[in-house]
Amino acid sequence: MYLSSLQIRNFRNIKETQLQFNPRVNIILGKNGQGKTNLLEAIYFLGIARSFRTSCDTVLITQGMDGFFLSGIVVQQHNIQDKIDVFLEDTKKVRINNKFLPRIIDLIGHFQVIIFFPEDLHLVKGTPDIRRRFLDILLSQSDPQYLHYLQQYHKIHKHRNKMLWQLKTGQEGAAISDIDVWDIQLQETSNRIIKARKESIKVLDGLSTGIHHQITTGSEIVKISYKPSVFNKEKRFDEIRKGHTLSGPHLDDMCFQINGIDAKKFSSQGQQRTAAISLRLAEMEYLYQQIKELPVLLLDDVCSELDDVRKGYLMKAVNQGGQIFITTTELDTVRELMDGEYKVFTVKDGLIIG
């Protein structure tokens, strides 16, 4: 799968552009603050309908404008082409081959992208919600059924919380027995989510261990384990006291160990960064196994903070054959790591030439 062209209007500092991409390597070159990451963000938005660096869509609109527009042609296996339009006017809208999707979330799975960026470090050392988001995006991109359960779970969880809050605050119309109905549904969807997360983490663990072993030339063993929060209805009275649900997959986490110790607490920043890269490469492999296509890789600033061994391994992995977009401030650093053809785009003050 690859993105063959992209039209961008009023996205961050990119006012109007029409780009044709190389099916393999696209190098995005420019000085700091010119719009390189903005371009990757636009490509990511075309796949996920959200940004990887903000949860607020309106900050993506060029200052002083009313909305943004993205339109890309994605080429799938057997040369099947899809036109994907994602835009924000008063609300966010998505069109595939000129047909509006009833729900934005249904976009996920049409154009698989993976981002590698400096903040990936937080996959290891950050808060659990960052790891849950990682898992949810990956599983949603590979299995529409997962996305369905996840949405169901969020809906039930929200209703149940509302009811607990009503009971806590003594509002009329709320009865403890009403929660039983929600509990049955919560239990069911929660089991499905936990099962999917458990299976995928097992695969990701195996893949990451192998990749990490190679990147660190055998000096480190990384292990990823799942820390599920199994829904427990015995907590009901505490929940009424607090006014919200105290167990369930919305509180899940996963844990990284490097050479047997908890990486979040004890590993160095460099070790955490490498573990995060191993996880991203494992993500790429996982998606490939699931959808039988290489996802598009977006590599933001990845070479600036890695040593040569790790850099070399990363590049070897990304040179496997899929499409990649890589940002850099120096062409030579990236060019020498690429084998085969590539196209260079220069970015200056939001203007992209390629």
Ligand X SMILES: Nc1ncnc2c1ncn2[C@@H]1O[C@H](COP(=O)(O)OP(=O)(O)OP(=O)(O)O)[C@@H](O)[C@H]1O
Instruction: Write out the residues near ligand X by the rule CB under 6 A.
Output: 12-13, 30, 32-38, 59, 61-63, 301, 329
DSSP string, 100-169: E-SSGGGGTTSS-EEEE-GGGHHHHHS-HHHHHHHHHHHHHHH-HHHHHHHHHHHHHHHHHHHHHHHHHT
Closest-CA residue to 114 (of 276, 333, 310, 6): 276
Q: Which partner from the list Mg ion, ligand X, none does 98 bind, CB cut-off 5 to 8 Å by kind?
A: none
Taking the C-alpha atoms of residue 348 and residue 120, their distance in angstroms, rounded to an integer, is 26
Q: Which partner from the list Mg ion, ligand X, none does 17 bind, CB cut-off 5 to 8 Å by kind?
A: none
Q: In the range 275-314, which residues lie near Mg ion by CB under 5 A?
A: none
- Class of residue 257 by CB neighbours under 10 A (exposed 0-12, middle 13-18, buried 19+): middle
CB of 334: closest distance to Mg ion in angstroms? 14
CB of 39: closest distance to ligand X in angstroms? 7
CB of 91: closest distance to ligand X in angstroms? 18
Of residues 33 and 270, the one with the C-beta less far from Mg ion: 33
CB of 187: closest distance to ligand X in angstroms? 43
Q: Stretches 30-38, 67-75, 78-86, 151-159: which one binds Mg ion (CB under 5 A)?
A: 30-38
- Class of residue 49 by CB neighbours under 10 A (exposed 0-12, middle 13-18, buried 19+): buried
Q: Residue 216: enclosing H or E segment and its boundaries? A: none
Q: How many residues bind Mg ion (CB under 5 A)?
A: 1
Taking the C-alpha atoms of residue 72 and residue 9, their distance in angstroms, rounded to an integer, is 12
Regarding 26 and contact with Mg ion (CB under 5 A), the answer is no
Taking the C-alpha atoms of residue 11 and residue 238, their distance in angstroms, rounded to an integer, is 46
Regarding 37 and contact with Mg ion (CB under 5 A), the answer is yes
Of residues 120 and 205, the one with the C-beta less far from ligand X: 120
Of residues 26 and 247, the one with the C-beta less far from Mg ion: 26
CB of 192: closest distance to ligand X in angstroms? 38
Task: Give the interface with Mg ion as residue ranges (CB under 5 A).
Answer: 37
